Structure 1
Amino acid sequence: MTLPLQVAVVGAGPAGIHTCDILSQLAPGTQIDLFERLPVPYGLVRYGVSPDHPKIKKIIDSLHVVLDGSTIRVLCNVEVGADITVAELRDSYDAVVIATGALRDAPLDIPGIHLPGSFGAADFVSWYDGHPDASTAWPLHAESVAVVGAGNVALDVTRMLVKHAHTLSDTDVSDNVYEGLAANPIRDVHLFSRRGPADVRFSPIELRELGNQYDVDIVVNPADLEPDPHLDRMTRQFTPVRHVVETMREWARVPTSRRTASRRVHLHFHQAPAAVVGADSVDGLRTEIMVPDGYGHVSGSGVFVEHEVQAVYRAIGYASTPLAGVPFDHGTRTVPHIEGAVVDGDGNHVPGLYTTGWIKRGPVGLIGSTKSDARQTVETLLERTVAGSRARTGRRAADRLLQDRGVRPTGWAGWLRIDSAERELGDAQGRERVKIVGRDELTAIADRSYAGAPTRLRFES
């Protein structure tokens, strides 16, 4: 009798859940265990999407459908690499898929970057999204702030910095974040891009949303939008670029007399960060004026400008972190692979090890693009893996290891209890939900779903 395929998926964000779903469809009967180091599933959708983007957060509904009532076993609050190793998973399962995403900020190697008051976007996003490993307090003390970056994350950070707290009253924002934003003394945010308006990676919708904020003015220098061959070429060829530039031109035409908001966002182009200025904390940001070549490239001019700010946020991209027992390319900050099959330094496939999501391809693409990425990985896995071809004890071995180490995973029923508790908090405030922040509180609520026995682990599903 052929035994069913047994697969462990590490990471319960969209990439991991889509992998489980596609694997269930293409290989019915496969036993799938989904490991997640946080007490709750959904990863980037829950902890990387701004609270004022409820439509994007609705992706959770489709992910919920995949897991609810399925045979996929969810084991949250288990840190692979600490509570159980990748090698132990490989010994237990026919295949292991790494889908841990990109959790850290890409580095910005300039003087002063580690001064107090200099922050990474990922840390700020974790705070306002109520990540259980983030501090419940954030130092929102600055009246003038610099944001470095030219993508949608930079827009998210900028928008949340200037947002008035009461405009979030119908979102899932946690109480501590609401209170922190309500006390925010911010007046000006300066957003810096090293290239020009035609080369930013803002989506037109996200950019226009910035201008629709309550009591916020957008300040753009009309000279930055003067026609030139590169700008004209890009706006002719690419519709999104044309919409972005048109939006900026609308803002640039607003007379100063009509800019009466209490908070302002200033867009600066052709300025690259050169140093964070300050002795004991941030006093400013020094930028170098960049010279465009007419083809979308820029070079340094040697001319520097200092901007007086009390905080600097870098939003230049996310980066994955290595996982012990998994090959890692520190240059690209991804797991090396061939069509999802992990390879070692010599290009040889590591038996039973696969990868998908941002740790596979880098932090690019929309959440929806994880489906096609996961399908490639699953198809490669199924081509290379024969169910029952190797003696595997699967989840029984994993359960024994976790029990021996005193690890109590949160099962699917645990998440449902957390979900219910957050919705109850929301009902009391006239909202859909209020996010619960603390790891201990989350695990305490979920723990009632865990049922242990002296000889083995058992999880409600």
Structure 2
Amino acid sequence: MTRSLRVAVVGAGPAGIYAADILTKSDVEVSVDLFERMPAPYGLIRYGVAPDHPRIKGIVNALQKILDRDGVRFFGNVEYGVDLKLDDLRHFYDAIVFSTGAEKDRPLDLPGIDLPGSYGAADFVSWYDGHPDVPRTWPLDARQVAVLGVGNVALDVARVLAKTADELLTTEIPDNVHAGLKASPVTDVHVFGRRGPAQAKFTPLELRELDHSPNVEVIVHPEGIDFDAASMAAIRSNKQVEMVVKTLQEWAIRDPGSRPRRLHLHFLEAPVAIEGENKVELLRTERMELTGDGNVRGTGEFTDWPVQAVYRAVGYLSTHLSDLPFDHVSGTVPHQAGRVLDLDEQHIPGVYVTGWIKRGPIGLIGHTKGDALETVTSLLADAEHRATDATPEAVVRFLEQRAIPFTTNEGWLKLDAHEKALGTAQGRDRIKVVDRDEMTGISRS
């Protein structure tokens, strides 16, 4: 080869950085440029993981080593479809990998879902994680709150809502988030799952963390602890399911304590309607029963829960990317082993996907490594020199000519040091900078 293969990766979350890692470790000489619409890298780790999960954020240390590698460059504050298009990327790169993830809330067809006081979990997560593109305030005025869903995001949302704000002062939460949570009058947070405990999607570690707060009493309502044949099979065959069920059973039979706030877990309760005059006033659920195969059916028994806010945590959804096909049902880009397919199911040369935009928002962060390996294997098998101008300086000139205030890995390290210094001054590991212009200014200083 007369020159290295030039690859652009759009999206610098774990999926994109893992793709860069595998590419630069391959036997082919490859240089990778990562484009990210945020001024900082790491995607969902920075803006989707609850601030009281420092060990999960420890993955950042490994990802940073990849960004520091020769042959890898980071271009932050550059938005695909706005600052550059697919044709632009094709001009500078032989192949493009899209790893833009999923950060929108999946809709829920429920009467009253649009009432004031009904929120998407992803929007709330973006607020408490200091996402630069969301409002700085959040309406935390409910005493009783419902969270719909039994995945890890639902538990994160419930835990952050239920904890006292001062418990989070050891984390990187921004000052505006601490102030908002400090003023919250919440006393009870109810988490609802339409199926049984053996069908819950959270991990044992996430579940057990609920019980660590000295201010939050975790209450499992025993009427939802039920199992059918499929449930018992899942418990016997899956260690994680067994651990989750064991913990829930133990909590269901213990005597409640006297901590000032309560986090309730309800199983076999399906939301059927949200009601209120001009805002959320109650959630109606239907009691469900297991049918033997892990599914459920309604019993016709309904309960009204007096809540003033409802958070739906029923899944994330990817955004349609310009100039790419999109399956609006699955929320993914059609592909075959990572190769993006057009409407005729033919591979679009040089265009690939990895991560949640490829397989949907399921699985843990580590699962993106397998996605990336499959995609990179396809890319290297197809490798051709397609770029019109593959010199590394060409894309830099392009961004500068368009007056795009992009950030770099060096700039991110400046911002990283600045946030850590802010934290040190208050005895914390970090305080996150929220404002986009401030983030960009520090990075480009």
Higher alpha-carbon deviation: 222-231 or 304-313: 222-231
Match of 2:273 in 1: 275
Distance 1:129 1:408 in 2: 23
Gaps of 5+ in 1: 449-461
Match of 1:81 in 2: 81
2:389 matched to 1:424?
A: no
Q: How far apart are 1:69 and its partner, in Å?
A: 4.8
Match of 1:415 in 2: 412
Instruction: Pick one of 356, 360, 370 that aligns with 2:358.
Output: 360
| Mapping for residues 28-427 of structure 1, pairs under 5 Å | 29-226=29-226, 228-255=228-255, 258-386=256-384, 388=385, 391-393=388-390, 395-427=392-424
- Pick closer, same or farther for the CA change 1:227–1:194 going to 2, 3 Å: closer
Letter in 2 for 1:293: T
- Pick closer, same or farther for the CA change 1:236–1:21 going to 2, 3 Å: closer
Letter in 1 for 2:415: I
Q: Deviations over 1:211-236 (max 9, x none)?
A: 22222112223232256544444333
Q: Deviations over 1:56-76 (max 9, x none)?
A: 000000011111253311110
Gaps of 5+ in 2: none
**TM-score scaled by length of structure 2:** 0.96
Q: Deviations over 1:18-41 (max 9, x none)?
A: 111111111554222110000100
Letter in 2 for 1:308: P
Distance 2:386 2:398 in 1: 23
Secondary structure of 1:169 counterpart: helix
- Pick closer, same or farther for the CA change 1:392–1:184 going to 2, 3 Å: same
Higher alpha-carbon deviation: 279-288 or 148-157: 279-288
Letter in 2 for 1:68: D
- Pick closer, same or farther for the CA change 1:36–1:27 going to 2, 3 Å: farther
Higher alpha-carbon deviation: 184-193 or 230-239: 230-239
Match of 2:442 in 1: 445
Distance 2:201 2:374 in 1: 27
Q: Deviations over 1:344-379 (max 9, x none)?
A: 121100011001011011111111121221111111
Match of 2:433 in 1: 436
Q: How far apart are 1:173 and its partner, in Å?
A: 1.4
Distance 1:344 1:96 in 2: 15
Q: How far apart are 1:399 and its partner, in Å?
A: 3.2
- Pick closer, same or farther for the CA change 1:233–1:383 going to 2, 3 Å: closer
Letter in 1 for 2:420: R
Q: CA RMSD in A?
A: 1.7
- Pick closer, same or farther for the CA change 1:234–1:338 going to 2, 3 Å: closer
Q: Deviations over 1:80-119 (max 9, x none)?
A: 1001112221232110000000011111011211211111
Higher alpha-carbon deviation: 141-150 or 301-310: 301-310
Distance 2:227 2:305 in 1: 27
Q: Count residues with an aligned counterpart.
A: 445
Distance 2:425 2:28 in 1: 42
Distance 1:394 1:83 in 2: 19
- Pick closer, same or farther for the CA change 1:394–1:116 going to 2, 3 Å: farther
Q: Deviations over 1:196-223 (max 9, x none)?
A: 1111112111111112222211222323
Q: How far apart are 1:391 and its partner, in Å?
A: 3.8
Maintained 8 Å contact 2:140/2:180: yes
Secondary structure of 1:234 counterpart: helix
Q: How far apart are 1:432 and its partner, in Å?
A: 1.3
Secondary structure of 1:181 counterpart: helix
Secondary structure of 2:289 counterpart: strand
Letter in 1 for 2:308: Q
Maintained 8 Å contact 2:106/2:316: yes
Q: Deviations over 1:327-347 (max 9, x none)?
A: 111111111111111111211
